Amino acid sequence: MSYVNAEDVLPKMLVEEIQKYVDGQLLYIPRKNGSSLSWGEKNGTKEKMAERNQTILNRYALGQTVAELSREFYLSEKRILGIIHEYESSNKEKDGGFRDE
């Protein structure tokens, strides 16, 4: 989130009115409903993590161990297991239950 000086973007009367309530303090103005972005969407982090997680899942399916994946991706074994579990849980929901494999 970037900082914007109110005097640069608001009419002087409005700045003076706001100063009655928050003189010299930082003020957060939330986004309008429906225009907010979820975490990681603005800078692409969400997409990059999804790609990384998919790579982890693919390599795990091909037989790479949790310990190997942990070392390769600089994540704890617990986080690798969490990624695998998240994927398995989301697939069970999509399939409507447990799959027989």
What is the tens place of the pLDDT at every residue in 15-60?
Answer: 999 999 998 888 888 777 766 667 667 788 889 999 999 999 999 9
Tell me what pLDDT residue 25 has: 87
Q: Is 61 left (phi over 0), alpha (psi -120 to 50) or beta?
A: alpha
Residue 63 corresponds to which tokens in the numbers above? 């037989």
- Are the C-beta atoms of residues 54 and 24 closer than 8 Å to each other? no
Class of residue 84 by CB neighbours under 10 A (exposed 0-12, middle 13-18, buried 19+) = middle
Tell me how crowded residue 69 is: count the other CB atoms within 10 A of its CB.
21
Measured distance CA(24)–CA(42) in Å, rounded: 29
pLDDT(11) > 90: yes
Domain locations along the chain = 45-95
Tell me what pLDDT residue 28 has: 85
What pTM was computed for the model? 0.56
Measured distance CA(90)–CA(66) in Å, rounded: 20
